[in-house]
A and B are shown apart, each in its own frame.
Chain A
Amino acid sequence: MWIALVNVTYRPGILDPEAKTIQQALAALGFASVEDLKTGRFFELHYAPGTERETAEQLTHAIADQLLANPVIQSYRFDLQEAAE
């Protein structure tokens, strides 16, 4: 079966105050070499056994476009992994 691992992140230029705050905390902890930090949301979509890879890919695009990401502020990328059925 196919599992889609989807990452949704903010588009470049979109303010992410949470990321900024985490980065400042890292600097305070001594991890000053982290120059930039991004946050995002992670989703795992487990497709039903028998779903073709191509179908899983198309469906994942449709799902991310329509619901998981807001295209005004976010973009997404995903990997498909094959798991034992």
Chain B
Amino acid sequence: MKIGVVVFPGSNCDHDTYHVLKDELQAHVEYIWHKETTLRFFDAIVLPGGFSYGDYLRAGALARFSPVMQAVIGLARQGVPVLGICNGFQVLLEAGLLPGALLANDHLRFRCQTVTLRVSDSSSCFTRAYQPGQLLRMPIAHYHGNYHAPADTLHRLQEEALIAFQYCDRSGELSPAANPNGSALNIAGIYNPARNVLGMMPHPERASSALLGSTDGMGIFKSLLGN
């Protein structure tokens, strides 16, 4: 299993992601520079967090037109797992691989904190290491994390169990107070209908080492590797 971590100009969580996969999980992982146009021999792709292209125009809007993205879109359509974390989630939305958009946080503040997430669905290649309803602690660090989608899209996400993670309080309640950014339905992460694309605002790569306070994010990478 070979995993590619895409590096856009302005990516800044690429090394963290690479480190978790390579050093913590001994996976075969390679960086992919955003100018690559062919992505053969990769079994999964990660679009890491950061500020690709300085978040100019809209977060993720310019990275979406990086040469590598045509290949990533092609792989995603073939069923290859594609994980977008934070800015990577924004890129996936702009690329149309996931529905909806991320607006500025409703309180207009950058939020850097640890949140509690509920695993709302654990039936994907990204979440199978978790139990449905399991609570996870992971950091968020974003300004544009306020998930928005038309009512019919939100309905479909619920009906088809395409909501992977939701912000909740310590008891698992999806309360407004536990929602750090105003996201519809407390959404923190969603799948595409084929469940091979996951976009999420929280940072599992920053919650994959006991030394850093949480290993709750490790389940995503373990799921991906089939461990």
B26 to chain A, nearest CB (A): 39
Inter-subunit contact A17/B104 (CB<8 Å): yes
**Measured between alpha carbons, how far is A14 from B106 in the docked complex, in Å?**
11
Contact of B108 among A21, A67, A72 (CB under 8 A): A21
Inter-subunit contact B65/A67 (CB<8 Å): yes
Q: Say yes or no for B17: interface residue by CB 8 A criterion.
A: no
Inter-subunit contact A67/B61 (CB<8 Å): yes
Inter-subunit contact B108/A17 (CB<8 Å): yes
**What residues of chain B lie closer than 8 Å to A81, measured between beta carbons?**
none
Counting chain B CB atoms within 10 Å of each CB, which of A17, A18, A72 scores highest? Answer: A72
**What residues of chain B lie closer than 8 Å to A67, measured between beta carbons?**
57, 61, 65
Contact of B103 among A14, A21, A68 (CB under 8 A): A14
Q: With A14-B148, A15-B106, A17-B107 given, is the CB distance from A72 to B65 under 8 Å?
A: no
When C-beta atoms are compared, the residue in chain A nearest to B62 turns out to be A67
Q: With A14-B148, A15-B146, A67-B65 given, is the CB distance from A73 to B108 under 8 Å?
A: no
A-B pairs with beta carbons under 8 Å apart, 20 shown: A14-B103, A15-B106, A15-B146, A15-B182, A17-B104, A17-B106, A17-B107, A18-B104, A21-B108, A41-B57, A67-B61, A70-B101, A72-B93, A72-B100, A72-B101, A72-B148, A72-B149, A72-B150, A73-B101, A73-B148
Q: Say yes or no for B128: interface residue by CB 8 A criterion.
A: no
What 9 A-B pairs have minimum CB-CB distances, sorted nearest first?
A: A72-B101, A73-B101, A17-B108, A70-B101, A17-B106, A70-B58, A73-B148, A15-B103, A15-B106
When C-beta atoms are compared, the residue in chain A nearest to B182 turns out to be A15
**What residues of chain B lie closer than 8 Å to A21, measured between beta carbons?**
108
Question: Which residue numbers of A lie inside 8 Å of B, CB to CB?
Answer: 14-15, 17-18, 21, 41, 67-68, 70, 72-73
Question: Which residue numbers of B lie inside 8 Å of A, CB to CB?
Answer: 57-58, 61, 65, 93-94, 99-101, 103-108, 146, 148-150, 182
When C-beta atoms are compared, the residue in chain A nearest to B93 turns out to be A72
Interface of B: prevailing SS: loop
A29 to chain B, nearest CB (A): 19
18 more contacts with CB within 8 A, not counting A17-B108, A72-B100, are A17-B104, A17-B105, A17-B106, A18-B104, A18-B108, A21-B108, A41-B57, A67-B57, A67-B65, A70-B58, A70-B94, A72-B93, A72-B99, A72-B148, A72-B150, A73-B101, A73-B103, A73-B148
**What residues of chain B lie closer than 8 Å to A73, measured between beta carbons?**
101, 103, 148
**What residues of chain A lie closer than 8 Å to B100, measured between beta carbons?**
72
**What residues of chain A lie closer than 8 Å to B106, measured between beta carbons?**
15, 17
B154 to chain A, nearest CB (A): 12
Inter-subunit contact A70/B104 (CB<8 Å): no
**Measured between alpha carbons, how far is A51 from B87 in the docked complex, in Å?**
37
